[in-house]
């Protein structure tokens, strides 16, 4: 067979890829239970993004199916003339992507759901995580289809709508479908991410007594920060009540705290109420929950300041829990769960949602904990419960995801390493990640791109973007990967 110039094939389809991708990026597919309905369990826009993607696949001659309204897939069997030479029709290679996105918080140069090209980059929420890579993989499969290349196994593109908030979509998929022979998700880094940390998702909740012990000079009447458990919150707001004199001191001390720590904050005070109030607002820096150390958690920094103020009762208990257990580090040392190993690195703790509404009886911190392969999730939960008990906090029933690893000798990994090295000229080192991808939900699956070594990771941040050149290079890699993986005999060494 004539050698295929995969990158040239990708470039030929650049205009069509960017056109389709822009249409998908314009759908604000953030999970929204308020707009949920019978045909949209995770919200109207999530369902619209899934329907749009399956419709696109259908237009290109792929057979499609939808499962429980939250996940779908598109199948390609290869040239019909070769059908008799295929292995079992039930066997398939999977490419797993998601069309849901995290909320578009922070300040954007251009509207997050109005895709915009500037200086060779496409800007929009989901451009990198994960709509851009999803359509790069889709167009990679179209290259294989349009070239009429022979396939030993079926190729299945799977599209989920709940990757960012729990992966219930993949649980639904597994209830109805058998697992693939092998596969990859374009939702991490190149070269190949073959191992993932485990995760614990839970909340530290404080049972409020309704008391304000003693005569506290200041009352915390509300606190709010964060939009998603797997994002570092970049904004926080606290409402405090007190005398005009006390509030004046709070404002002065707040400005000093911000100045001393290189933080940005604002205040507003209402002296017309029967009891004076001040709103304190803190700005931080968003980041993906798998790397909380590179962000600035606005909620924790604001609580750190409030820890220096004369609070009492439930207010003091809520703030003290944050200051002593969560503010000190992102490694879990203060929580008594710090650990690390050589393969998957250190445990991390992201506090993505912070809420305090005493009149509504609400007080919690949502935790997204990512732990290395050397640790046991149940044991970590036990240590957490023991550490929290003296502070009066309890854990909500945790969701546990075990660590995931595909051995280096797996035939799929060997094939992906060869493809990456041949196309890029660089060594295909095996990586691990603290991120949780769909790969962990199916055996024999890894993460393959889309971020090339040295590129800035803008996922979950304002002005999320992807390089158009990188998008095309990824498309070329995905095309060859789909072709090669669909022709491996998985019962033998390649």
Asked if pLDDT for residue 341 goes beyond 90, the answer is no
Query: Would you put residue 68 in left (φ > 0), alpha (ψ -120 to 50) or beta?
Result: left
> For residue range 146-179, what is the model confidence (pLDDT) as tens digits?
999 999 999 999 999 999 988 999 999 999 999 9
Hey, which residues are catalytic here? 100, 163
pLDDT score recorded for residue 82: 52
Backbone phi, psi, residue 85, to 5°: -90, 5
State the Cα–Cα distance between residues 322 and 332, nearest whole angstrom.
13
Cα dihedral 481/485/486/492 (nearest 10): 160
> For residue range 294-318, what is the model confidence (pLDDT) as tens digits?
999 999 999 999 999 999 999 999 9
Q: How much is the average pLDDT of 15-35?
A: 97
Q: How much is the average pLDDT of 172-198?
A: 96
- Look at strands 92-98 and 182-185 and give their pairing: parallel
pLDDT score recorded for residue 292: 95
pLDDT score recorded for residue 269: 78
State the Cα–Cα distance between residues 290 and 137, nearest whole angstrom.
24
Tell me the percentage of the chain whose pLDDT exceeds 70: 95
| Structural domains in the chain plus CATH codes | 6-197+403-485 (3.40.630.10), 200-401 (3.30.70.360)
State the Cα–Cα distance between residues 214 and 211, nearest whole angstrom.
9
Confidence grade of residue 494 (pLDDT, cut at 50, 70, 90): very low
State the Cα–Cα distance between residues 348 and 295, nearest whole angstrom.
12
| Count of beta carbons in the 10 Å neighbourhood of residue 53 | 26
> For residue range 99-130, what is the model confidence (pLDDT) as tens digits?
999 999 889 999 999 999 999 999 999 999 99
> For residue range 383-441, what is the model confidence (pLDDT) as tens digits?
999 999 999 999 999 999 889 889 899 999 999 999 999 999 999 999 988 877 999 99
pTM of the model: 0.74
DSSP secondary structure letter of residue 288: B
Confidence grade of residue 84 (pLDDT, cut at 50, 70, 90): low
Position with higher pLDDT, 231 vs 185: 185
Averaged pLDDT score across all residues of the chain: 93
Catalogue the E-assigned strands of 333-458: 340-341, 345-346, 348-357, 362-371, 393-395, 399-401, 404-405, 430-433, 445-447, 450-451
326 contact partners, CB below 8 Å, separation of at least 6: 300, 303, 334, 335, 349, 351, 365
Asked if pLDDT for residue 53 goes beyond 80, the answer is yes
State the Cα–Cα distance between residues 112 and 108, nearest whole angstrom.
7
| Count of beta carbons in the 10 Å neighbourhood of residue 82 | 14
């Amino acid at each position: 067979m004539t050698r295929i110039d995969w990158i040239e094939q990708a470039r030929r389809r650049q205009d069509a890829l960017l056109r389709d991708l822009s249409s998908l990026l314009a759908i604000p597919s953030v999970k929204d239970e308020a707009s949920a309905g019978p045909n949209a369990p995770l919200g109207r826009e999530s369902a619209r993004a899934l329907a749009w993607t399956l419709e696109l696949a259908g237009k290109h001659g792929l057979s499609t199916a939808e499962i429980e309204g939250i996940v779908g897939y598109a199948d390609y069997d290869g040239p019909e003339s070769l059908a008799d030479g295929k292995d079992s029709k039930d066997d398939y290679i999977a490419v797993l992507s998601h069309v849901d996105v995290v909320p578009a918080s922070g300040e954007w140069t251009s509207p997050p759901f109005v895709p915009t090209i500037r200086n060779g980059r496409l800007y929009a929420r989901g451009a990198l995580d994960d709509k851009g890579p999803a359509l790069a993989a889709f167009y990679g499969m179209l290259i294989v289809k349009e070239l009429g290349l022979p396939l030993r196994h079926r190729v299945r593109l799977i599209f989920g709508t709940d990757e960012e908030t729990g992966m219930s979509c993949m649980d639904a998929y597994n209830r109805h479908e058998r697992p693939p022979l092998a596969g990859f998700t374009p939702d991490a880094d190149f070269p190949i991410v073959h191992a993932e940390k485990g995760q614990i998702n839970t909340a530290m909740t404080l049972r409020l007594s309704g008391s304000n012990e003693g005569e506290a000079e200041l009352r915390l009447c509300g606190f709010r920060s964060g939009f998603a458990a797997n994002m570092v919150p970049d904004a926080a707001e606290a409402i405090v009540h007190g005398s005009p004199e006390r509030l004046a001191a709070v404002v002065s001390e707040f400005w000093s705290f911000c100045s001393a720590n290189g933080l940005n904050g604002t205040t507003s005070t209402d002296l017309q109420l029967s009891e004076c109030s001040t709103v304190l607002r803190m700005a931080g820096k968003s980041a993906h929950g798998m790397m909380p150390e590179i962000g600035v958690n606005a909620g924790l920094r604001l609580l750190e300041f409030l820890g220096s103020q004369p609070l009492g009762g439930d207010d003091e208990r809520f703030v003290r829990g944050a200051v002593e257990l969560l503010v000190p580090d992102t490694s879990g040392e203060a929580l008594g769960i710090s650990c690390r190993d050589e393969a998957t690195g250190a445990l991390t703790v992201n506090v993505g949602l912070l809420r305090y509404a005493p009149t509504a009886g609400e007080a919690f911190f949502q935790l997204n904990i990512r732990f290395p392969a050397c640790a046991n999730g149940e044991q970590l939960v036990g240590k957490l419960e023991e550490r929290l008990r003296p502070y009066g906090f309890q854990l909500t029933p945790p969701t546990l995801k075990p660590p995931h690893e595909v051995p280096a000798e797996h035939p799929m990994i060997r094939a992906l390493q060869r493809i990456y090295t041949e196309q890029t000229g660089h060594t295909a080192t095996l990586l691990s990640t603290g991120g949780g991808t769909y790969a962990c939900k199916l055996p024999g699956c890894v993460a393959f791109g889309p971020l090339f070594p040295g590129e800035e990771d803008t996922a979950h941040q304002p002005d999320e973007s992807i390089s158009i050149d990188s998008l095309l290079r990824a498309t070329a890699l995905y095309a060859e990967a789909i072709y090669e993986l669909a022709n491996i005999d998985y019962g033998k060494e390649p």
